[in-house]
Amino acid sequence: MKNTLKIQRAVKSVTQAQLAEAIGVSRQSINTIEKGKFVPSTVLALKFARYFGVAVEELFILEDND
């Protein structure tokens, strides 16, 4: 699963640490998700979408091989 978290953060000028604090996870979790090494839970994905004001599908893209 691909994601656009890093792009969304850049658009809002938000650091990983700032996003982590706002969402309630560690900075390391944000880093791991951005690198595609961890797929967030549905609840966490919805929190990201709410924070950025976009649909979940804009943040997380399901690929054919998923």
CATH for 22: 1.10.260.40
Q: What is the reported pLDDT for 53?
A: 97
52: containing domain: 2-61
Instruction: Determine, yes or no, domain membership for 66.
Output: no
* Single pTM value for the model: 0.90
In a domain, 21, yes or no: yes
Displacement of CA 21 from its chain's centroid (Å): 13
pLDDT, position 39: 93
Number of domains in the chain: 1
- The C-alpha angle 24, 28, 32, rounded to 5 degrees, equals 105
Q: What is the pLDDT of residue 6?
A: 96
Would 52 be classed as within a structural domain?
A: yes
Q: Look at residue 35 and tell me if it is in a domain.
A: yes
Q: In tens digits, what is the pLDDT along the chain, a chain of 66 residues?
A: 899 999 999 999 999 999 999 999 999 999 999 999 999 999 999 999 999 999 999 999 988 887
Instruction: Please check whether residue 25 lies inside any domain of the structure.
Output: yes
- Is residue 11 in a domain? yes
